[in-house]
A and B are shown apart, each in its own frame.
Chain A
Amino acid sequence: MVALDATTGKLKWYYQANPHNEFDWDAVQTPVLATINWKGKPRKVILWADRNGFYYVLDRNTGRFLLAKAFVKQTWNDGFTAQGRPILTPAAKSSTTGTLIYPDNQGGTNWFAPSFDPQTGLFYVNARESYSTLFVKGDVKEYVDGARYDGRGQVRVEKAPMVMGANDDEYAAVRALDPATGTLRWQYKLDWGNSLHTFYGWQTSAGAAGILTTAGGVLFTGGREGHFVALDARNGALLWKADLGGPMIMDPITYAVDGRQYVAINAGNCLFVFGLR
């Protein structure tokens, strides 16, 4: 992530969460600006839930690394230097025989927005408990003009027999974190398992909608199954749901027209707008 002077475009500071990234863990997550109680004093910070499964707190004036805490199961990281550079575990390397990594390449979270609610004081993220086996492919492929080229050839690997059936250790959930420590306060599970991934493709397991919190104490979000939900932002209790029939992977938004408030969400290929009568 980079901080640029908005007038001049000059780089003020940067932080790289995944140097020499081999797992497709890019930095397209949404940074959240907040003022939180940091060791007894208010501090202007960036709250960042990264694809690599870690929740970060950085000083937003200087970029100084303040905290990193895993918010999903991860097996690639063995700590951080004082400057915040990750220390990789020996297992955190793809191989020709396959390396099991938590989280998977779609990550602990992705493009969908997190939220910070100054009233509850909580940071909310749609988190994915996931894992995958990552391979380095075989020899460098010969380039053929006009054909798909992705650098390396196919490699056949031994796989376990294909089975059908969802498991319960892979799931997507709204997680509410204490922003100063990254400690989990509550979670609301949205979707389980990866089994439908193969029917509908990446989209169904890649994540959920973003999170919208409102001054009325309501948290809106949705997931793969088409359930658009409103939760109590303090404790995750379900207040309301609507079954929209399509996966939600965008952020809900709220706006007012002529003094009347609306909440909108895209589900599947349709845009739904809700309001109070």
Chain B
Amino acid sequence: MRAIVSLFLGYAERPSIGPLHARSISLRRPGLALCLLLMTAQAAVVLGQTSTSASDPISGNPAAGKLIFDGPGKCLSCHRAGASGSVIGPNLSNIGAQLPPDRLRQWLLNPPQKAAPESRLYEIVTRSGRTVRGKLLNQDPFSLQMLDSSGQLVSFSRSQVREARFVDPPSMPSYQGKLANARIDDLVAYLASLRLPDEQ
């Protein structure tokens, strides 16, 4: 069917449907509060304060925790905090507001081996034999959109796709025995500091 299209440009007013969901995307830079927190933490290092017992939930040094997170902990290979990291695993930019410190500690020492359904990766094999793994963003009857493992947006027409399916992500390793208790405390303190500005 050939179409005659005539465009009438008008302003469509958004109907008032009800309370907006307060969910918001997490990929925003940490606010001023976080910077001040880190500065305070670094001042604490300079003044020679050390963590107390491992049972004190936020006794660790968040600045030291960030160095582990960004470095030897290899957390950024799966996770994202603020502007850096991978999209493969859960985004931790607001994790300090979402889980209490004892749960954060448990997650580091004994992470669940089976991924939650929302943590699954998506794998597409194209008709030309290319395989792409990443996070499924969207699909409709004619196309699929993903973020690949490097965070690039990729769009596929369904006619290009030979296979498309959810796959389990690699399991998160446990840090029990790999990091000293005091370093775990530092990591917990850093994670507890990851909070986004309050949602409107």
Task: Give residues in A with beta carbon < 8 Å to B.
Answer: 24, 105, 150, 156, 158-168, 188-193, 195-199, 201-203, 206, 223-225, 227, 229-230, 238, 240-242, 266, 268-277
Question: What distance in Å separates the Cβ of A57 from its nearest Cβ neighbour in chain B?
Answer: 27
Kindly state the separation between the CA atoms of A271 and B12 in the bound complex, as whole angstroms.
10
Q: Are B166 and A161 neighbours in the complex by a CB distance under 8 Å?
A: no
Provide the residues of chain B in CB contact with A164, threshold 8 Å. 87, 91, 135, 137, 147
A269/B98 in contact, CB under 8 A: no
Query: Are B4 and A275 neighbours in the complex by a CB distance under 8 Å?
Result: yes
- Would B140 and A162 count as touching, CB distance under 8 A? no
CB pair B136–A165 under 8 Å, yes or no, is yes
Whether B141 and A163, one on each chain, are in contact in the complex, defined by CB atoms closer than 8 angstroms, is no
Q: Are B118 and A223 in contact (CB under 8 A)?
A: no
Complexed CA–CA distance, A196 and B136 (Å): 11
A272 cross-chain contacts in B, Cβ below 8 A: 5-7
Query: Quick one: which of A24, A160, A197, A227 contacts B140, CB cutoff 8 A?
Result: A227
Residues on A with C-beta less than 8 A from B24 are 198
Nearest residue (CB) in B for A275 is: B4
In contact, B20 and A201 (Cβ under 8 angstroms): yes
B78-121 vs A, Cβ < 8 Å mask (1 yes, 0 no): 00000000010111111101111001000000000000111111
Q: What would 6 more interface pairs be, CB under 8 Å, given A163-B116, A271-B7?
A: A161-B98, A198-B25, A225-B140, A240-B1, A268-B12, A277-B4
Cβ proximity bits B115-131 to A, threshold 8 Å, 1 near / 0 not = 01111111000000000
The residue in chain A whose Cβ has the minimal distance to the Cβ of B166 is: A168
A189→B141 CA distance, assembly (Å): 7
Contacting pair A195 B99 (CB below 8 A): no
Q: Which of A158, A168, A191 contacts B100 (CB 8 A)?
A: A158
| Known contacts A162-B90, A167-B118: A271-B135 contact under CB 8 Å | no
Size of B's binding interface in residues, CB under 8 A: 53
**Measured between alpha carbons, how far is A105 from B138 in the docked complex, in Å?**
21
* Pairwise interchain contact A195-B138, C-beta atoms closer than 8 A: yes
A188 to chain B, nearest CB (A): 8
Contact B14 A203 (CB under 8 A): yes
16 example contacts (A-B, Cβ-Cβ < 8 A) are as follows: A24-B19, A164-B91, A165-B121, A165-B122, A165-B135, A166-B138, A168-B139, A189-B141, A192-B140, A196-B138, A198-B24, A202-B21, A230-B1, A238-B141, A266-B12, A277-B4
> What's the least CB distance linking B158 to chain A, in Å?
12
Tell me which residues across on chain B come within 8 A of A161, comparing CB atoms: 90-92, 95, 98-99
Q: Chain A residues near B23 (CB, 8 Å)?
A: 197-198
Residue numbers in A under 8 Å from B92 (CB-CB): 161
Q: How far is the CA of A163 from the CA of B135 in the complex (A)?
A: 9
- Interface-central residue, A150, A156, A168, by most chain B CB under 10 Å: A168
> Is the beta-carbon distance between A276 and B1 smaller than 8 angstroms?
yes
Shortest Cβ distance from residue A128 to the other chain B in the assembled complex, whole angstroms: 14
User: Which residues of the partner chain A approach B4 to less than 8 Å between Cβ atoms?
Assistant: 273-275, 277
